[in-house]
Amino acid sequence: MQTSHGRWARGALTVSLVLGLTACGQPPAGGAALSAQVAAGEPMLNEVYYDSFSTDTGTFIELKGPAGKSLSGYTLAAFDTAGTQYRTITLSGSIPASGYFVVAQDTTVPNRTLVNSGTDLNNGSASLRLLKSGTVIDALAYGTPTSGRGEGSPAPTTGAGSALARVPDGQDTNVNSADFRVQAATPGASNGGSGGGGGTTGKKVLFDLTKAEDAGNADWRIDGAYSDYAAALRGLGYTVSSLTGTGITSTSLSGAAVLVIPEPQSPFSDTERAAIQAFVQGGGGVFMITDHRVSDRNNNGWDSPEVFDGWDGSTPASVSGAYQASLNSDVIFGLNASFNSSFSDPVYTATPLTTHPILNGVSSAGVYVGTSVDVLAGTALMGTGGRTYLAVNSVGAGRVAMWGDSSTFGDNTYSDGSTGTYNNWPNLSNAALGKNVVRWLAGDL
């Protein structure tokens, strides 16, 4: 590992590790991108898990190829962002009957074939090549390397806790960005099909659309400003869909692991609140994403803090008794949307306030005119200036989280094809944060 949290385990390698440039790993002059696809009968780079949470453990490189094929003479060459080779891993043995050859950092990796600490690769932009007697067989570049050694445009970086994998399994179009996607690590197993989400969780995540979350200049839809968020969760193996209709019921929540409520604009009824409360008590997770006060997108008198906390007695002027409590999140979940911000507020940068699995790989996240959270019960996770912007709580058998700004997880594309200002998702910390919250709520973190 070339970063501070990597580890070396000398003396325990079952394959040899050679540092520095070697003749077999010398890149071609000029570092030109490859154009040839993997030849028939040759192994390919199928999955790379290079960045685990905290100090890297359990990283691996997976090859896919014909069962029984000898890997004598094959090497793996790792390059930094400038295209300089910093590591060579010499392979040995044969591809197992499964068709997957897993070179593992340590013995914690399931389905491992060989162990070599050198598989703990650079976490940032970099490249990896598979060579046979010095000839490039396959190549992968990820991130934005200044001198990539991959095929076509690079694949994305993963953030901590996810892998880069070919989906569909073994696909090779000669373009890394098309062939690889971020998903849960699956060493020695299939990466999933073209229509699947990769990964193995199979759990359902619902994004609510029953409370006008796409009203006015908001577009918190999984086919709109939250499309990248939904794609990232699918890449982790979750089934992601919208919850539509006139309201939330126990039936509509049946089978779901997590309910995401992004900036609701209409109140919840007593019946809906009871269904959501029972969902959490029974083991479900709810992610409440609020925004600032006076953010009434559909002009009905309600903004998202009021929807989560309950009618404030003034706007709207009058409310039916069945809707006055709305979600009542401060009472039933211990989290209250509190700070009355305005459009003159600056952009805040929330940073970790404690240690928690959700904060793995997260150093900061933007708050783009949002609402702080009063933590009446639970744990404050991120904040700044004495205010909390992310808090969590365990309720019954389930879990809840509240974040103070809807645009943190939005991309720049609306569901009607137009563009807006919600272009914050590409921020790596925000991406890791959004994924980690859902994983924790689903019990996967």
| Mean per-residue pLDDT of the chain | 84
Cα separation, 79 vs 87, whole angstroms: 7
Q: Are 114 and 44 in contact (CB under 8 A)?
A: no
Give the pLDDT confidence of 277-306 residue by residue, as tens digits. Answer: 999 999 999 999 999 988 999 999 999 999
CB-CB contact of 206 with 258 (8 Å): yes
pLDDT digit string (tens) for 64-75?
999 999 999 999
The phi and psi torsions of 306 (rounded to 5 degrees) equal: -70, -35
Q: What is the pLDDT of residue 234?
A: 81
Mean pLDDT calculated for residue range 165-173: 84
Q: Is the pLDDT of residue 368 over 80?
A: yes
Q: What is the mean pLDDT of residues 31-47?
A: 70
pLDDT band at 199 (very low <50, low <70, confident <90, very high): very low
Cis link prior to 110 (omega < 30° from 0)? no
pLDDT in tens, 217-273: 889 998 888 888 888 888 777 889 999 999 999 999 999 999 999 999 999 999 999
User: 95: pLDDT confidence band, cut at 50, 70 and 90?
Assistant: very high
Q: 204-441 in CATH: which number?
A: 3.40.50.880
Distance in angstroms (rounded) separating the CA atoms of residues 86 and 42: 24
CA–CA dist 36, 4 (Å, integer): 35
Per-domain residue ranges of the chain: 17-183, 204-441
Closest CA to 257 of 442, 399, 443: 442
Using CA atoms, how far apart are residues 310 and 331, in angstroms rounded to an integer? 10
Residues of the chain with pLDDT > 90, as a percent, come to 54
More confident residue, 108 or 19: 108
At residue 390, the pLDDT reads 97
Residue range 382-415, pLDDT digits in tens: 999 999 999 999 999 999 999 999 988 887 777 7
pLDDT attached to residue 345:
65
CB atoms near residue 386 (< 10 Å): 6
Q: Give the pLDDT confidence score for residue 415 in this predicted structure.
A: 79
Greatest mean pLDDT range, 33-47, 149-163, 293-307:
293-307
Judged against a pLDDT cut of 90, whether residue 7 lies above it is answered with no
Q: What is the pLDDT of residue 350?
A: 93
CB atoms within 10 A of CB 194: 8
**The predicted structure's pLDDT at residue 343:** 63
Q: Which tokens is 159 given?
A: 């953030």
pLDDT at position 38: 64
17-183 fold: Immunoglobulin-like (2.60.40)
pLDDT at 190: 82
| pLDDT for residue 18 | 35
